[in-house]
Structure 1
Amino acid sequence: MHLARIAASACALALATAGTVVALAPTSSAAAGSVYSVAPYVDLSNGQEGLLDTAITGHHLKAYTAAFVLGEGCNQIWGDTLPIGADSFTDPEIARAKAEGASVIISSGGSSGLALAWTCSNQSSIDAGYQAIINDYGVTQLDFDIEGAAIADTAAAARQMQAMKDLKASNPGLQFSMTLPVLASGLTNDGVNILKAAKNAGIRIDVVNIMTMDYYAGTGTEMGQGSVAAAQATLAQMQSVDSGYTYANLGITPMIGKNDDGSTFTLADAQTVENFAVQHSVGRLAFWAITRDQACGSGGNSLPTCTEISQNQLAFTDAFVPYEGSTGGGGGGGTTSDFSLSVAPGSASAAQGGSASATVSTSVTSGSAESVSLSATGAPSGVSVAFSPTSVNSGGSSTLTATVGASVAAGSYPITVKGTASTGSHTATYTLTVTTSGGGGGGGGGGSLTNAGFETGSLSPWTCTGGSAVVSSPVHSGSHALQVTPSASSTGECDQTVTLSPNHAYTLTGWVQGPYAYIGVSGGASGSTWSNSSTWNKLTLAFTTGSSGTVTVYVHGWYGQANVDADDFTLG
């Protein structure tokens, strides 16, 4: 997780093949059991572990995820920053929680560490190391948090899936989750490749646990709806790899309170996520972290140990724990048929007399496929919306075509797309922006980007984080370009706020190169696009301003990745 700043040098427990610790509940094989439906993370390195005991004894928490075990060559250690060994702290803490009635998932990896398959290339040692965790802690579930550059290591991912296949063969009932970074638009390509690695190994991941946090899309991001959007998009990606996946194989893990990017996940957002989970029988709800689930003390300003919002102690735990009861403790997977509905792209522009199209996708979320009839409401007079085909079996898709009459007034129109089946209905919003027939982009005027090619040799009026700077090489054109520099624990980002014409369509373009290079807008409009290329490539983003016309244009690179270069922005 983004706030788990783990010091691997403060070594604790060697869990690897050479030896083990005093077993808390030794067992030769994991007992059969279902996925724990509520299992928030506990940072066993930040000095707030007493909150776990309070959550169990006073707030009915039944399961939690202990973070993190780290690979160190072909050995494993607890990533504990305290200057004490695991036998005197981590083991007793886990044993105490178990005695108080809570089950534990052991998590390996994290934002500042790696799971064993990423640090060891010997398959038998990897298998034995993970088996040691199962034996020493008597667990039936393992979690692997894969972030940063690790997620692109396909060889390590293949070793990981082979290990899980081997372990499942020798441990009946063993469950495992893969915790992966996500955007509101779903997994990255590397995340999808993790799913493909499982498919290639002949296994299905029990829980694909998505970190719905730190989108770096602006401080006004609605994090509850962002979690829902990410869940819907991720399930579609999962089912594109293996049609057997359902919401019972999905986990949702937000970061409670303030996030690293300045956005805030509120208690209202928690309710939004829980309502969605109940509706779709989501496999797991978690959050980062119980050891933050409290307001900061006087003068406190420390995201690793508190949420930096006003809240009662363990308020987020109280918000999520009821989901355990709503699922019967089993983590979803009911037999009632249901489906999801999405529209991509979610918005488009069309000139008067023209048309725009989008793909309406459906997927099975539980039970069996069923017939879904498609319809649309909210289109203005003079705009017709058609579907081809007009109905699909859930799992299928249809093409939406919006045809705009010559006299339709320019403006943005939200259109509700509805899918109706015998078991119920779902909707999605498609925003159609009508421009004048001479039109295109912004309807004219309203400001533009300054220093868009960085040819002044300075950043102004762009504002940047970290070590980002204007450089003379590499450049796309001219003599200067921008270099955005992420760190191991945070993104690098440069922003420029501009005032454009209100309620008009614009197109932002920019040339970028580097891993996970993003351009986007926030504030009075929201959207982003990205690429992952070692050579210059052009990114294009269409958006529509709100009533103020003011937006913030940004470019950023993801934490834990190399520099991102950007040049030659246009906005029109």
Structure 2
Amino acid sequence: MVLPHRLWKVAVCAALLTACAAPGPARPQPSPVSAEIPSAPTETAPYVDVSVRHPPLGSVVAKTPTRRFVLAFMLAKHSACAPAWAGSTPIDDPAVLGDIAAVRSAGGSVTLASGGATGTYLENACSTAAELAGAYRQALQTTGADRLELDVETAVRPDVVADALRIVHTELAVPVTITATVADAGSGLEQSTLDLLRALASRGTDVVVNAMVMNFPESGSWRESMLTAATTVAGQTGEIWPGNPYSRLGITYMAGRNDTGVLTTVDDAHALRDYAVAHAIAFLGFWSLARDNGNCADEVRASPVCSGLAQETYAFTRALRGR
């Protein structure tokens, strides 16, 4: 698991490979990029931890090519079935809505992320699927977010959650992402996550499966570990949904110092983007915007407000688009 402030990311792929890419070997290499593969993943976005100080999003839009942000995390307000940022800040907080307005005025958009590493989940506070769908609906309509993500890092009721997500996905035409931890590079997603994905598939709900390639045991180099984990998750996804598994794959990494001590460098970020482009995946993101600076170079413990690397500000944000 991670620091209390950590969490992440969603999108639906707009272009598919013409042939299915089977899961690769233990140490995958990015496929050659053909003319039919887009020059970047369909969606890229940094995560924004609204519970910590972060750069104004309007300023980030002005200084980087990013036009989407994942706002995290929405939790149960004082443990009740009502949405609130980090479980306490109102979902219509003026500062958050001001950030969203700045993004949208520049032609950008936001994803709303529920769940995370700590706190009481809406998914557990709401008694029924209808109540949970109502909480999602309220948050989406209040913020104007056009995508919904569930970052599931604790046990949830798969049938209740799947029913609620189906309601929102159908009624509001909101794309859905399931973000989940990786046990290790070879094992991929945990059984509880696979159970939730199967429940969604059985209801005909199409989702992006976003692998958190962070904070798991290293095997070989850390870069190889992250790439292998992504390929493993693609294989698991392909067993649930037929077709090209990469078309619904998402990857989210932790910029700089992970909670387990390993470092994800800017060069690693570019390698992950190369993999994303080669396989035309649905989403690429990182945790988190507040950490995308070099204000604590050589810090040996993960911080919510700096990467622990000597880096330029917004280096990871720019790397999402290969800049």
- In the TM superposition, residue 134 of structure 1 has moved relative to its aligned partner by 2.1
Listed as ranges, the matches of 1:447-458 within 5 Å are: none
- In the TM superposition, residue 316 of structure 1 has moved relative to its aligned partner by 0.8
Counterpart of 1:187 in structure 2 is: 189
CA contact (8 A) 1:43 1:49 kept: no
- 1:227 matched to 2:226? The reply is yes
- In the TM superposition, residue 240 of structure 1 has moved relative to its aligned partner by 1.3
Counterpart of 2:31 in structure 1 is: none
Code of the aligned partner of 1:133: A
Counterpart of 1:39 in structure 2 is: 45
Counterpart of 1:120 in structure 2 is: 126
How large is the Cα RMSD of the aligned pairs? Answer: 2.6
Partner Cα separation in structure 1 for residue 81 and residue 244 of structure 2:
32
Q: How many aligned residue pairs are there?
A: 287
Code of the aligned partner of 1:312: E
Secondary structure at 1:49 match in 2: coil
Give the structure with the higher percent helix. Answer: 2
Partner Cα separation in structure 1 for residue 227 and residue 120 of structure 2:
28
Counterpart of 1:316 in structure 2 is: 316
Deviation track 1:20-75 (CA, whole Å, cap 9, x = no partner) reads xxxxxxxxxxxx9959510120111111233x333211111111100111023211
Partner Cα separation in structure 2 for residue 159 and residue 319 of structure 1:
37
In structure 1, list runs of 5 or more residues that go unmatched.
Answer: 7-31, 324-572
- 1:202 matched to 2:204? The reply is yes
- 1:104 matched to 2:110? The reply is yes
Partner Cα separation in structure 2 for residue 302 and residue 170 of structure 1:
40
- In the TM superposition, residue 142 of structure 1 has moved relative to its aligned partner by 0.5
- Aligned-residue sequence identity (percent) comes to 28
Deviation track 1:458-490 (CA, whole Å, cap 9, x = no partner) reads xxxxxxxxxxxxxxxxxxxxxxxxxxxxxxxxx
Secondary structure at 2:97 match in 1: helix
Counterpart of 2:97 in structure 1 is: 91
Code of the aligned partner of 1:304: P
Partner Cα separation in structure 1 for residue 241 and residue 177 of structure 2:
16
Could you say if the C-alpha distance between residues 197 and 269 of structure 1 is closer, same or farther in structure 2, counting changes exceeding 3 Å? same
CA contact (8 A) 1:127 1:167 kept: yes
Listed as ranges, the matches of 1:77-476 within 5 Å are: 77-79=84-86, 86-147=92-153, 149-150=154-155, 153=156, 156-172=157-173, 174-182=174-182, 183-185=184-186, 186-205=188-207, 207-217=208-218, 222-244=221-243, 246-297=245-296, 303-322=303-322
Secondary structure at 1:286 match in 2: strand
- In the TM superposition, residue 233 of structure 1 has moved relative to its aligned partner by 0.7
Secondary structure at 1:38 match in 2: strand
Counterpart of 1:327 in structure 2 is: none
- In the TM superposition, residue 81 of structure 1 has moved relative to its aligned partner by 7.8
Counterpart of 2:17 in structure 1 is: none
- In the TM superposition, residue 244 of structure 1 has moved relative to its aligned partner by 3.4
CA contact (8 A) 2:109 2:146 kept: no
Code of the aligned partner of 1:189: Q
Code of the aligned partner of 1:100: A
Code of the aligned partner of 1:2: V
Listed as ranges, the matches of 1:453-532 within 5 Å are: none
In structure 2, list runs of 5 or more residues that go unmatched.
Answer: 7-11, 15-40
- In the TM superposition, residue 130 of structure 1 has moved relative to its aligned partner by 0.9
- In the TM superposition, residue 298 of structure 1 has moved relative to its aligned partner by 8.2
- In the TM superposition, residue 4 of structure 1 has moved relative to its aligned partner by 4.2
Deviation track 1:132-165 (CA, whole Å, cap 9, x = no partner) reads 1221122221011000x32xx3xx2211111121
CA contact (8 A) 1:45 1:81 kept: no
- In the TM superposition, residue 125 of structure 1 has moved relative to its aligned partner by 1.3
Pick the structure with greater CA Rg: 1
CA contact (8 A) 1:292 1:307 kept: yes
- In the TM superposition, residue 302 of structure 1 has moved relative to its aligned partner by 5.8
Code of the aligned partner of 1:318: R
- In the TM superposition, residue 85 of structure 1 has moved relative to its aligned partner by 8.5
- In the TM superposition, residue 209 of structure 1 has moved relative to its aligned partner by 0.6
TM-score by length of 1: 0.47
Counterpart of 1:375 in structure 2 is: none
TM-score by length of 2: 0.81
Counterpart of 1:473 in structure 2 is: none
Code of the aligned partner of 1:129: A
Code of the aligned partner of 2:113: S
CA contact (8 A) 1:78 1:86 kept: no
Partner Cα separation in structure 2 for residue 85 and residue 244 of structure 1:
38
Secondary structure at 1:178 match in 2: strand
CA contact (8 A) 1:165 1:201 kept: yes
Secondary structure at 1:60 match in 2: coil
Secondary structure at 2:3 match in 1: coil
- In the TM superposition, residue 102 of structure 1 has moved relative to its aligned partner by 2.1
- In the TM superposition, residue 228 of structure 1 has moved relative to its aligned partner by 1.3
Secondary structure at 2:211 match in 1: strand
Could you say if the C-alpha distance between residues 259 and 76 of structure 1 is closer, same or farther in structure 2, counting changes exceeding 3 Å? same
Partner Cα separation in structure 1 for residue 143 and residue 131 of structure 2:
18
Secondary structure at 1:89 match in 2: helix
Give the structure with the higher percent strand. Answer: 1
Deviation track 1:437-461 (CA, whole Å, cap 9, x = no partner) reads xxxxxxxxxxxxxxxxxxxxxxxxx
CA contact (8 A) 1:65 1:107 kept: yes
Partner Cα separation in structure 1 for residue 43 and residue 106 of structure 2:
18
Counterpart of 1:73 in structure 2 is: 80
Higher relative contact order (CA 8 A, sep 6+): 2
- In the TM superposition, residue 308 of structure 1 has moved relative to its aligned partner by 0.6
